[in-house]
Structure formats: C-alpha cells, structure tokens
Amino acid sequence: MTIISRLCKDVFALVVAVLFTVLMVAGLADQGKNLFPAMLAFAAMVPVVGSAAVAIKRDWDNRDHHLSI
C-alpha cells in the first residue's frame, strides 16, 4: 500500500470518527437536560479519534523517512 493511500485512509478514518462523535454527542445531549450520557459518549470516543490522529502522524513520519532514502 502506498504512502498516499495510507494517508488518505487514515484521514478518512479520522473524519468519520469525529463526525460520528459529534453526531452521537448531539443526539445524546437531549437539549441540555441530561449531559451525562453525552459526556460519557465523548469520553469513549476520545481514544478512537486519538488513534486515528496518531496513525496519520505515523504515516506522515514514514513518508519523510521513505523520501530521504
């Protein structure tokens, strides 16, 4: 798999994770009456978003390494 395709896949995964988090938190917020489920959903999605961001960083660093060889 090429570097560009891995970067595109990782960026797509990050966008999907952030979009899913926003929609899930907005749906659970229930117009501000009870924010605990929304905060819990957000906390559960933080590792998913972080993992996608770390994958992008790792692929970006590998791109620099492969270009310098």
- pLDDT of 51 reads 92
The pTM of the full predicted model, rounded to 2 decimals, is 0.75
Cα separations (Å) of 30 from 35, 36, 60? 8, 10, 39
User: pLDDT truncated to tens, each residue of the chain (69 aa)?
Assistant: 687 888 889 899 999 999 998 998 888 887 778 889 889 989 999 999 999 999 899 888 887 665 555
- pLDDT of 30 reads 73
